A = this chain, B = another copy of it.
Amino acid sequence: MPPVGALLWRALRVHQVYGANTDVGKTILTTILCNSASKIWKDEQVSYLKPVSTGPQDEADDRCMLEKCFNLNRIRTNYQQTFFLVKSIIWELTQCRHLENYAPNTNIETLFQWDIPTSPHAAAEVSSKPIPTDHELLAKIHHHISQRAHQGSGWLFLETAGGVHSPGPSRTTQADLYAPLRLPVILIGDSKLGGISQTVSAFESLRLRGYDVESVLLFREPVHENYRYLADYFGDKYGISVETVGAPPARHENAKIDRESMAEYYNESSEENAVRDVLLQLDKRHQTRIARLEEMPAKAYQSIWYPFTQQKHLTPERITAIDSAYGDHFQTLQTQPPTSSPSPDINLLRPSFDGSASWWTQGLGHANPKLTLAAAYAAGRYGHVMFAEAIHEPAMAVAENLLQGLQNPRLSRVFFSDNGSTGCEVAVKMALRAARVRYGWDQDTKLGILGLKGSYHGDTIGAMDCAEPCTFNEKVEWYEGKGFWFDYPTVQCKEGKWVVDVPDSLKPDLGDGEEFASVADVVDVEGRDQAEAARKYEAYIEWTLETLQKQGRKFGALMMEPVVLGAGGMIFVDPLFQRTLVDVVRRSSRLFATTPASISPSQADDKTWMGLPVVFDEVFTGLYRLGRYTASSFLGVHPDVSVHAKLLTGGLVPLCTTLASDSVHEAFLSDDKSDALLHGHSYTAHAVGCQVALESLREMQSMEKRGAWDAFKSDGWVSPGSSVSDVIPRDANDSIVWSAWSRAFIDIVSHNAARVSGVWALGSVLAITLRSDDATGYKSSAALSLQTRLREGYEDGRWNVHSRVLGNVFYIMVGQTTSRAAVRELEGELTEALSA
């Protein structure tokens, strides 16, 4: 079942009516809007939809219920019950004098109904009717309104129940529940005493969920005149107009007279200029919203210079207008073939699965309210405060969380910067200086790094210099690769087996590779440590280092992305090779320095770097991307410097941390200020980023602890017969190798020999290497047809999946909160697309 998306049609204007409180006249004012719309747009249909309604269904029932309340009111003396019953009566008074009787030209519907006149969640709870899930409710609304849209032009008002945060049937509050629909909002203000506060707070709750409040409407109440204050407030701060309508007449005891006076009230109100103005403005904004979405690709094509994009190949058609995003999905503008005339009944927006996790950043879902609130809290508490010689709570807490979570006894210092690239520059500055100071090399000694072919650490020049020459950097004017990069064996699943592939050039040294039954066996580096492969890796690495030494080359650091090289092509490196490389570098001080300043193994404790400082770039692989807090645990290695970004902030704002050991830090201590690490960005450790990071880290740790991923783990990643809870000590992150992608699915894909040369999955990442006749590498287009096919779905019931490719490698990445059902749906789509 595809996800429910936003609602936007050209000819049908759909608006959502929220109330600043219960009993603010939401239904009365919506009725007036319906009547007025019917008068202005005579040929169009006006609809009213109450997705969830509570209370008796017809007015007779209402009146009966009211009588009961009045009676109760008379006989009860308990203060609080009277209090609430009075409230209740007022509420029902408003409810029962509305729509059905006074909006003759409006098409009225309710989707879910409970008889008890209370909050939907409470009514649903005590009822025997099944409670719809949020998804079912949204799907029903979506279906209903889509049907309506097919019937042509008009207006539809979707009325909510109670206040903005009144819980829906499933207990999710409405502001959260309905957010994916992205409907423009008419906020009914509260005209009573205290109503200013209620209206402003309700607005803020909507605003921080990305709602566009287009209009504030309330009764023109003469005692408190809240509308005067609110008109200034919303006008000045948000440019939102506040309009008023006269309040309804007092209830008359004679039903006929009451009905007549109400009819007159509705008739007069719907003629008020204010109501007309609201509707005309809503209509205009509706057109503007669509026009803006449609013009943006062409404007962006003219004025935006895109990252990592050959602009010559760009066309406006290739640029996706993103209206919003929610959970795992973008809400994107449906583009129509330029030749077809605009069709009025196509939903202009569709959900598109964010298959690259927005460049590998998304973990807790787009527009996650907890992250929003965290960001807003820090913005409200600090804004940004400069970090030199200062400390604030979120920075302190993030530092503590990382130091504790990484379980690496070497790391003791946290340095903040803005993104993976700057964080890697910080890391390399730290490591090179530590080596130079320890080994007493002078300033003129040219130092390189040791790394792996295909490594990529970011786009600033210093980070680029850490990578071997490749497509990404070879034409950059100041790029100069500074290091040596090893070739290495890689891991993929092929025809059900997990294969360690040795590149041809290394076969004379490393042999022909190995096959394993499971990925867990590949990652069992301690078990494999004693095997022949380990000894071959060791000999090859030692020989290479000796050769480099003989050539007179000097190195200051070993720098790697542990387990998976991301931008280099989603390459799963044999973890045994990486582990062995670290081991050899650490015990081979003599290969890097011959001065007395080098520390011998006997002097080193488990916190002191040996040989060279080991830098792990976990920007992509860390913080649960591969299923664990740290990717270094797969190697059983404690780096001396560790870089973390992307998932660090759960996918909301940029932030990076570079952690280092005391033995690296010491190299910068001196009486000379110029020996310090003179690096720092204006927004270093900005409070918003730190608070969001803290929230993200805690949420992911809590998910791990409470077993949120156990269902995934049980899909083939733990041995048959043992349940997940048997094998996973919840507080360790190095005990199981698992993926959100099921083992059965990996198996199927790995057997698709016609199209697939190999596949792997770890944590939330899936990477499929496609067979291709083209040149492989970044410039290849082998995966493009798969990508294109997956982007076509939606109208046909398939998922629409947005993905990025790396040459002939097709990868897809889910979030840490993506549901198992969603991943299985994606597996279905992929299986089908791969067999097409």
Contact = CB atoms under 8 A, between A and B. Distances in A.
B682 A314 contact: no
A395 B321 CA distance: 11
A3 interface: no
Contacts of A300: 391, 396, 399
Contacts of A688: 375, 652-653, 688
Given A229-B121, A367-B379, A84 B193 contact: yes
Interface in A76-123: 77-84, 86-88, 90-91, 118-119, 121-122
A88 B223 CA distance: 11
A521 B167 CA distance: 65
A167 to B, nearest CB: 6
A722 interface: no
B193 A429 contact: no
A707 interface: no
Contacts of A256: none
Given A305-B415, A361-B682, A390-B322, A676 B310 contact: yes
Contacts of A173: 196-197, 200
Contact of A21 (B197, B322, B413): B197
A203 to B, nearest CB: 9
A193 B91 contact: yes
Nearest to A197: B163
A753 interface: no
Nearest to A21: B194
A80 B313 contact: no
Nearest to A85: B223
Given A208-B380, A304-B413, A421-B681, 18 more contacts: A80-B248, A163-B198, A166-B194, A208-B377, A210-B378, A303-B400, A304-B414, A305-B413, A309-B389, A310-B673, A375-B375, A379-B652, A422-B459, A428-B478, A433-B475, A459-B680, A475-B674, A653-B688
**Size range of the interface on A?**
35 or more
B380 A207 contact: yes
Contacts of A68: none
B471 A674 contact: yes
The residue among A303, A386, A393 with the most chain B CB atoms within 10 A of its own CB is A386
Contact of A672 (B310, B388, B389): B310
A459 B415 CA distance: 14
B79 A248 contact: yes
Interface stretch (A267-275, A352-360, A509-517, A575-583): A352-360
Consensus secondary structure, chain A interface: mixed
Nearest to A192: B87
8 contacts: A302-B412, A307-B677, A325-B382, A330-B385, A356-B386, A383-B652, A418-B419, A436-B477
Given A673-B779, A678-B476, A383 B651 contact: yes
Interface in A659-686: 660, 665, 668-684, 686
Interface string A420-444: 1110010011001100100000010
Contacts of A210: 377-382
A477 B670 CA distance: 17
A45 interface: no
Interface stretch (A460-468, A584-592, A744-752, A768-776): A460-468
Contact of A386 (B200, B209, B358, B422): B358
A205 B209 contact: no
Nearest to A225: B122
B675 A325 contact: no
B373 A204 contact: yes
A23 to B, nearest CB: 7
A296 B630 CA distance: 26
